[in-house]
Amino acid sequence: MGGRARVSLVGSLLGDHAFLRAWWSNWAEVVPGKIYRSNHPGPGRLRRAVARFGLRTIVNLRGTAPNVATALSAEEAARLGVETVYMAFESRGAPHRERILRFHEIYRTMRLPALLHCKSGADRAGLAAGLVVLFEGGTAAAAARQLSWRRLHVAVSPTGILDAFFRMYAAEGEGRKAFLDWVREDYDEMRLRRGFRPWRLGTFLTDTVLRRE
């Protein structure tokens, strides 16, 4: 391994908490044989996942901001012939209407099987997985289950606004309007923000202890 590669690997391990992800993947199947979710995979884990599950697309929910882990995984994906798609979601804000619709377009056209990942695999991966459940005709309750404490999602923290999003659809649109029609025509981001209040302890846990993006 060359000097530059070693520096990049050390930067990823320390600066991006990749040393934790070396033994914990937060991996789960969302749609059997089609969609999986995890935390940010390093090159080795990505190789193993492609070999085992036949992945053809990686959806990076962290976006295109400069990041050593992103550079390493994108380079390995390209070497393996796997497409990387960048789709930035927020973990602490109300999901943006335009981003939901863009993600649906990505989902509709991307090559399968695919892996959805963010940094920890808890919040943005949970949101994207929940959206996939709804795209596939599932219920808001099933979508909300993708945001689970077992995946280290903390619903009483600022990331709980993602849970509130699915509850809003359940209360206002489910059974009356198709999910994407509700997003286009009725979803009110500002009202969701105004109505959500996290617990102070939950905020400390996600922002200080877990240091979520």
* pLDDT tens track for 67-96: 888 999 999 999 999 999 999 999 889 999
Across the chain, what does the average pLDDT equal? 87
- Give the residue from 11, 18, 26, 20 showing the smallest Cα distance to 42: 18
Residue 45 lies in a domain: yes
Q: Is the peptide bond before 43 cis (omega within 30 degrees of 0)?
A: no
C-alpha dihedral sign at 66, 70, 71, 72? positive
The whole-model pTM stands at 0.86
pLDDT at 13 over 50: no
Residue 9 lies in a domain: no
- Give the residue from 112, 157, 148 showing the smallest Cα distance to 129: 148
Better-scored residue on pLDDT, 56 or 153:
56
- Give the residue from 153, 157, 167, 142 showing the smallest Cα distance to 198: 157
Question: Are 100 and 176 within 8 A, CB to CB?
Answer: no
Q: What is the band of 204 on the pLDDT scale with cuts at 50, 70, 90?
A: very low
Structure-block tokens of residue 202: 């939950």
Cα–Cα distance measured from residue 47 to residue 41, given in angstroms and rounded to the nearest whole number: 9
pLDDT the model gives residue 156? 86
Residue 167 lies in a domain: yes
Residue 12 lies in a domain: no
Residue 204 lies in a domain: yes
Q: Which domain holds residue 112?
A: 19-209
Q: Report the CATH number that the domain containing residue 51 is assigned in CATH.
A: 3.90.190.10
Domain count, the chain: 1
Residue 3 lies in a domain: no
Better-scored residue on pLDDT, 197 or 150:
150
Residue 134 lies in a domain: yes
